[in-house]
């Protein structure tokens, strides 16, 4: 597989929340608005790309028996970095995402990519894989976030888009609404890919 293929597979074939159905906790929890989803996605992308590169660099040094521990230390360090940076420069977003930023450590997409991909492949493919999967995750979260924000609140990125008499379905902003939206999207994607 070429580098381009490693990059683009994250956008459809292995789109994390919808095709691999991984990383559902942030997918369901933070996608109440498009901005939150994209912020969460970009934070995850950063961690994913950095940890993939580092794991790939160290893949011949780390002994097999302690590899999971080593991966987690690497991932956790990058997550704390993201958390501090976000607090320092994007405080309002940090207030919204709150606990879900530290929880990126246990996001199974990241450990999954480190274990299944980066620990076996070279640095460049790993970087491409991390960026592709991460950006795919960002787009998925942004899409789900804008769908919920649009129907549940009548806004997109905070801007009113509907006529004034439009009654938003506030239910979609609640956790059950997240499951309903996710289910509909999964179904639609299955229909499309079965053709």
Return residues touching another protein (CB under 8 A).
58, 61-63, 65-66, 69-70, 73-74, 76-77, 80-81, 84-85, 87-89, 91-92, 95
Give whichever of 93 and 135 is closer to another protein, judged by the CB atom: 93
In the complex, the smallest distance separating the C-beta of residue 81 from another protein, rounded to whole angstroms, is 5
Contact 17, 182 (CB under 8 A): yes
Dihedral-angle region of residue 18 (phi above 0 means left; psi in -120 to 50 means alpha; beta otherwise): alpha
In the complex, the smallest distance separating the C-beta of residue 5 from another protein, rounded to whole angstroms, is 31
In the complex, the smallest distance separating the C-beta of residue 57 from another protein, rounded to whole angstroms, is 11
Give whichever of 95 and 190 is closer to another protein, judged by the CB atom: 95
Q: How many residues are there in the chain? A: 195
In the complex, the smallest distance separating the C-beta of residue 118 from another protein, rounded to whole angstroms, is 15
Give whichever of 82 and 147 is closer to another protein, judged by the CB atom: 82
Dmax of the chain from CA atoms?
63
Nearest-10 crossing angle of helices 123-153, 175-194? 120
Q: How big is the CA angle at 80 (ends 74 and 83), to the nearest 5 degrees? A: 145
């Amino acid at each position: 597989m070429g580098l381009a293929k490693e990059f683009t597979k994250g956008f459809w074939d292995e789109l994390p929340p919808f095709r691999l159905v991984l990383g559902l906790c942030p997918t369901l929890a933070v996608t109440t608005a498009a901005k939150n989803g994209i912020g969460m996605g970009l934070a995850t992308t950063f961690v994913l790309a950095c940890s993939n590169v580092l794991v790939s660099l160290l893949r011949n040094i780390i002994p097999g028996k302690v590899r999971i521990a080593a991966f987690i230390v690497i991932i956790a360090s990058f997550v704390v970095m993201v958390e501090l940076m976000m607090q320092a420069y994007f405080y309002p977003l940090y207030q919204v995402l709150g606990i879900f930023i530290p929880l990126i450590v246990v996001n199974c997409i990241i450990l999954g990519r480190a274990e299944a991909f980066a620990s076996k492949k070279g640095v460049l493919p790993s970087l491409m894989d991390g960026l592709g999967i991460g950006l795919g995750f960002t787009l998925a979260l942004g899409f789900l976030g804008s769908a919920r924000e649009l129907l549940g609140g009548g806004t997109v990125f905070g801007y009113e888009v509907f006529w004034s008499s439009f009654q938003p379905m506030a239910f979609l902003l609640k956790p059950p609404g997240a499951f309903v939206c996710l289910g509909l999207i999964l179904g639609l994607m299955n229909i499309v890919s079965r053709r």
